[in-house]
Amino acid sequence: MINKYILDGDGQPVVCDDLLAWACWFEDTPERIVAQDRLPNGVCVSTVFLGIDHNFGHDGPPVLWETMIFGGPSDQYQNRYTSREDAVAGHAIALRRCS
């Protein structure tokens, strides 16, 4: 079973069993973008709320956020997180990696 999540009014993830409600929320909610930075060299660092648990081993908390780098020497770098706080910190790490 794929666990789908949305963010509540406080930005905390909650399970959403209704596929249509999840898809509508996901399409219309800009808050799922944590941070996106385009650097002067054209590299993009993006951190987002995934909406689907990427903890495929099912041990531990859901993995719901992801940072990726597009372009440059670290192209396709990726890291995933279990909390928004870790995702924000991971975004900063990715930015430093690109500088």
The residue extents of the domains of the chain are 31-98
Supply the pLDDT for residue 87: 98
Q: pLDDT per residue over 5-42, tens digit each?
A: 999 999 999 999 999 999 999 998 999 999 999 999 99
Kindly tell me the burial class for residue 1, based on how many C-beta atoms sit within 10 Å of its own C-beta (0-12, 13-18, 19 or more). exposed
Is residue 13 within 8 A of residue 62, CB to CB? The reply is yes
Supply the pLDDT for residue 56: 82
Cα–Cα dist 92/82, whole Å: 16
Q: pLDDT per residue over 54-76, tens digit each?
A: 998 778 899 999 999 999 999 99
Supply the pLDDT for residue 1: 57
